[in-house]
Amino acid sequence: MKRQSGFTLMELVVTATVLMILASVVVPLARNGLKRQHELELRRDLREMRMAIDDYRRQAETQKIKAPPVEANFCPESLQLLVEGVPATGSLSRKVRFLRRIPIDPFTGKAEWGLRSTTDEANSTSWGGGHVYDVYSLSNGIGMNGVPYREW
């Protein structure tokens, strides 16, 4: 009598069960990893824009660039101005740029951000016009830390 080689039905069922258990563990980890990566990117983008706004204010206060009106608290008119650049004092051709580009919000997929001016409340989610003092994400999501992205 010849012995046939191959897998029995029981071996196939056990193997499929083990693979399903492993997949059920890996998928949530991958999903959380992707969300964590987007959150890190959001933090980096917000920090980069806020540092550019602060750098603009610092240079305007020290008169290294053409300063906005005093009532604007030395804040830029828009994020686009930080990309396009501002003329340096004493030079007509040299421009000082603070951002290479406006970052894309990793959760909305757009280069659109919520803006706050110096006249807005600290937690305001509506643009009151004026000069840009702060930026925030327009995403309605909630971070892994339980804080909505709009409040970061």
Q: Please write the tens of the pLDDT for every residue from 97-136.
A: 999 999 999 999 999 999 988 877 777 777 777 788 899 9
Contact 132, 75 (CB under 8 A): yes
pTM: 0.76
Higher pLDDT, 126 or 87: 87
Find residue 65's DSSP bridge partners: 88
**pLDDT at residue 10 in the model:** 84
**pLDDT at residue 2 in the model:** 65
Tokens at 31, concatenated: 């999903």
User: Is the pLDDT reported for residue 150 higher than 80?
Assistant: yes
